[in-house]
Amino acid sequence: MAELEWIDGGGITSPGGFRAGGVYTGVKSYGDESRLDLGVLAWGEPTLVAGVFTNNAVVGEAVTWNRAILGAGRATGALVCNSGNANTVTGEQGTRDTRRMAELTAAKLGLQPQQVLVGSTGVIGRLLPMELIEGGIRDVELAEDGGAAFARAIMTTDPRPKEFAARVRIGDATYTIGACAKGSGMIHPNMGTMFAFLTTDAPAAPAWLQSTLRAVTDRTFNMIDIDMDTSTSDTALLITSGAAGGRAFDGSHPQATEFADAIEAVARRLARAIARDGEGARALIEVIAQGAASVEDARRAARTVASSPLVKTMVVGRDPNWGRVMMAAGRSGARVDQRKASVWIGDHCVLERGTPTAVSLALVSQAMADEEVRIRVDVGMDGTSTATAWGCDLTEEYVRINADYTT
């Protein structure tokens, strides 16, 4: 695939045609003005944005709003987000508050309310303090280098903003892809939710954008969303300003796959950063499942191992208790032949075709001391399907963070 040139300090406003900003309103951490909590991203002409949302049956008001807009095929020109409150399970007032956020943002930018997407992340079941939100929308200033402020404004318990941008040369043209995310309760996606926003200046057909985002999400963000506490507000958006001009990407574009791969590479870096920043995490866990009878089986096995509390505590304790990897693969729903299965921790094979090896467990323990711990499991079905998932270890700090989230 085309090589990516990462842009130092880049983010969602790195591609041309985007402006953004972020302000403090007090919704997230009243009185601490360093904690921005309301952000707006705007792009030139309203355009059809690609979006993928949580599959939780309970959803935030913003998700319902966005789904209706995208489902109706409406073009949009801006995104307004707040952190600190998810506006979920808030009844009719919650519905009105989301609409009000869109209306105020639209009025500010000369758009229609239905041309504004909304994101809300934070605690569930509390009404939005609308006077704070309204002040924030009024005050926020948008700038062509405002991506960093926006990235800060969507954070909840994230230890740092997550934003990246890269240039990629496809044929004769150079495109820029920007991205930012929040989601530090990611490992069991928290009330805090995963937001992943991707921007680009490449022109693209809406249907191609949507199918590309769906496929990329399945291999990146969905491989860290690990079937545990799926948030009610998870949202991934892929927005193009088209500012780079030229031929639009669609299914018949000769370099469509090459550009989709570039988008996936940026998304993968974002996904890994989300997992790495998991609440209380010490280490990133990368799990590769192979030898599976189907891609779906490989995905199940990789995700289940990456999300197993016992695997997570094994990593935090640097405890070479690799039997937990087999236990998790076994309960994943994937077909597993334990007589032919193999497991590696780092480079050490601990189980070889159903039989434990004589590897030194002290060495295995050392391999778990890194900031990235790689676990590979061959489920023994002699298949060629593989999948990769990411998680982080489960520390006492995770418990402390989540025991104290609202109080």
Using the minimum distance from each CB to its own copies, give the nearer residue, 103 or 319: 319
**DSSP-derived 3-state class of residue 371:** coil
Question: Which residue pairs, CB below 8 angstroms and at least 24 apart, start in 396-400?
Answer: 396/280, 397/279, 397/280, 398/187, 398/278, 398/279, 398/280, 398/281, 399/280, 400/280
- Min separation Cβ 128 and its own copies, Å: 12
Do the Cβ atoms of 297 and 334 come closer than 8 Å? yes
Pattern 92-111, its own copies, x by CB under 8 A: x-------------------
Q: Please pick, from the candidates 129, 206, 246, 317, the single residue that binds its own copies as defined by CB under 8 A.
A: 317
> How many alpha carbons lie under 13 Å from residue 404 in its C-beta half-sphere?
9
Report in angstroms how near the CB of residue 182 gets to its own copies at its nearest: 17
Which member of 213, 283, 351, 392 binds its own copies (CB under 8 A)?
Answer: 351
Kindly report the backbone phi and psi dihedral angles of residue 305, in degrees, each rounded to the nearest multiple of 5, phi listed first.
-65, -45
Which one of the spans 4-12, 143-151, 213-221, 310-318 is the region binding its own copies (CB under 8 A)? 310-318
Confirm or reject binding of residue 321 to its own copies (CB under 8 A). Answer: yes
**The one among 245, 356, 369, 372 contacting its own copies by CB under 8 A:** 356
Q: Which of 90, 210, 220, 385 binds its own copies (CB under 8 A)?
A: 90
Among 174, 257, 355, 360, binds its own copies (CB under 8 A): 355
Q: Using CB under 8 A, which of 330, 363, 374, 383 touches its own copies?
A: 330
State the Cα–Cα distance between residues 69 and 72, nearest whole angstrom. 5
| Calpha distance 288→305 (Å, rounded) | 9
Per CB under 8 A, contacts with its own copies among 168-227 are 185, 188, 190-191
Beta carbon nearer to its own copies, 268 or 340: 340
Cβ contact 151:160 at 8 Å: no
Task: Report yes or no: 226 and 306 within 8 Å, Cβ to Cβ.
Answer: yes
Active site residues: 193
d(CA 337, CA 351): 13
Q: Pairing mode, if any, of strands 38-47 and 195-200? A: unpaired
Q: Is the dihedral of CA 308, 314, 318, 320 positive or negative?
A: negative
Is residue 66 within the footprint of its own copies (CB under 8 A)?
A: no
Residue 386 CA, distance from chain mean position: 21
Closest CA to 345 of 317, 315, 301: 315
Q: Pick the piece of the chain touching its own copies (CB under 8 A) from 66-74, 109-117, 175-183, 332-340.
A: 332-340
Q: Is 149 in the site for its own copies (CB under 8 A)?
A: no
Among 67, 100, 126, 169, binds its own copies (CB under 8 A): 126
Q: What part of residues 282-301 is at the interface with its own copies (CB under 8 A)?
A: none
Kindly list the residues in this chain that would bind its own copies in the complex (CB under 8 A). Answer: 55-59, 86, 88-92, 123-127, 185, 188, 190-191, 228-232, 308-310, 313-314, 316-324, 326-332, 334-336, 338-339, 341, 350-351, 354-356, 365, 394-396, 398-400, 402-407
